[in-house]
Structure 1
Amino acid sequence: MLLVWGIFTPGSTELQSAFKYAISLHNKNESSRFQVEPITDVIDTNDPFRFTRQTMVDI
């Protein structure tokens, strides 16, 4: 299982849905050699300190 992080801004629900949908399509593909688990986080990028801190916590 491969973890894939998606970092999104508040109000980007369409982008989050597209990200999760793409991961779902990959996981349903029988020729995929591995499965992917999406991890999403919503961060206000106007606060660079919080953005950096949250990114490091997620890793």
Structure 2
Amino acid sequence: MAKVNVSLDADLVVEVMVLTGVGNPQDAVELVVRDYIERGHRTEARTATRDEALRTVDIKPRDVEG
């Protein structure tokens, strides 16, 4: 896999390290990015399931009153 170097504010990286409990800045930031991506995939899966369920609902036509 290709590697990318990114410059980040030191305070931001320290905050990520504290929140994740990881002592290595590279690992801490990578953990946060991977978690963000996984959450996105879970959200997509939930919304796709809900959308699919809405599409499969059979709607009976209304009786015409008059």
Whichever structure has more helix as a proportion of its residues is 2
TM-score, normalised to structure 1, is: 0.35
TM-score, normalised to structure 2, is: 0.32
Which structure has more relative contact order (CA 8 Å, sep 6+)? It is 1
The structure with the largest alpha-carbon Rg is 2
